[in-house]
Amino acid sequence: MSVQVHRSTAEALAHWFDTALGQYVLERERAYYDRVVADIFGYNALQFGSAQIDLLRTSRIPSRWCVGSAGPIALETDFRDLPIAANSIDLVVLPHVLEFTDDPHQILREVVRVLVPEGQVVISGFNPWSLLGLKRIMPSARTQIPWRGRFIKLPQLKDWLSLLSFDVIGGRMHGYVPPFSTEQWLRRFHFLDDAGDRWWPFAGGIYLLQAVKRVRGMRVITPSWRPALATGGNVVALRRVRGRAMAARESTQKR
């Protein structure tokens, strides 16, 4: 996919998020991103695309960048070949990136390359097994954003992440309302959001995933704290107490 095609798709997606249905989806995605990224720490964070929407606004990571090929971005580049050092990023967010590229695997490989061990990625995508996803079968929608994208099944995405040594540690579905184009009809069916979470959680219009990069064989080193035992107001090292007990036991055995 050329940069020019990517640019036009990104602009079209930005316009779609300004519609009533787009705002409905965006409101739910933002709530999830705001909650999740606030608890991820580090030094550097990247947002791929959707530069008009700041999905890192609640992050406490000091250095936050947006990369892409359209909009007010910090770095204009191809997602498949990032000019970023390996093992240098603590957090990556991918808002509807994978379904609008012809090489989602390469983008995920770049994500795992730039992330530090135990770094995290947060992904949002359109669910093909939903009322929103089923609209793609309508001939009039096949050429429109977002339905002309290649929607990725959630189990398939989880398999890709697993093959790249990611562990999925969180996620949820959102958006059970039919894809109406007017705010009035969307409001009328808001009750389906609560019902969907309870009765058909697999059929939300969008899914959000949080995954962590694992490095097999790596052991996280933690501080070595020596436990202590408080006796009569004095703190005595537990290993000293154990040593005295062993010495006493040996003396008894010799007798």
Locus of tokens 């095609």: 5
| Across 71-87, average pLDDT | 80
Locus of tokens 């793609």: 136
Is the bond preceding 146 in cis, omega lying within 30 degrees of 0? yes
Q: How many CA atoms lie within 13 A of 115 on its CB side?
A: 25
Residues of 92-104 as b/e, b for ≥16 C-beta within 10 angstroms? bbbbbbbbbbeeb
Closest of 188, 181, 193, 207 to residue 19, by C-alpha: 181
Residue 5, pLDDT above cutoff 50: no
In sequence order, what are the residues at sequence separation of 6 or more whose Cβ sits closer than 8 angstroms to the Cβ of residue 62?
43
Compare 241 and 161 and report the one with higher pLDDT.
Answer: 161
| Per-residue pLDDT tens over the stretch 208-240 | 999 999 987 655 554 454 444 344 444 333 344
Q: Are 121 and 92 in contact (CB under 8 A)?
A: yes
Residue 76, pLDDT above cutoff 90: no
| Per-residue pLDDT tens over the stretch 127-152 | 999 989 888 888 777 788 898 889 99
Per-residue pLDDT, 72: 58
Per-residue pLDDT, 219: 58
Per-residue pLDDT, 112: 96
The rounded distance, in Å, linking the Cα atoms of 230 and 224 is 19
Residue 202's pLDDT band (cuts 50, 70, 90): confident
| Across 153-161, average pLDDT | 96
Q: What percent of the chain shows pLDDT beyond 90?
A: 49
Residue 198's pLDDT band (cuts 50, 70, 90): confident
| Per-residue pLDDT tens over the stretch 95-119 | 999 999 889 999 999 999 999 999 9
Residue 74, pLDDT above cutoff 80: no
pLDDT mean across residues, the chain: 82
CATH 3.40.50.150 fits 3-213, yes or no: yes
| 3-state secondary structure (DSSP) of residue 126 | strand
| Per-residue pLDDT tens over the stretch 6-43 | 567 778 888 899 999 999 999 999 999 999 999 999 99
In sequence order, what are the residues at sequence separation of 6 or more whose Cβ sits closer than 8 angstroms to the Cβ of residue 244?
none
Locus of tokens 């580090």: 42
Per-residue pLDDT, 69: 58
Q: What percent of the chain shows pLDDT beyond 70?
A: 80
Q: What are the extents of the domains in the chain?
A: 3-213, 222-255
Residue 189, pLDDT above cutoff 70: yes
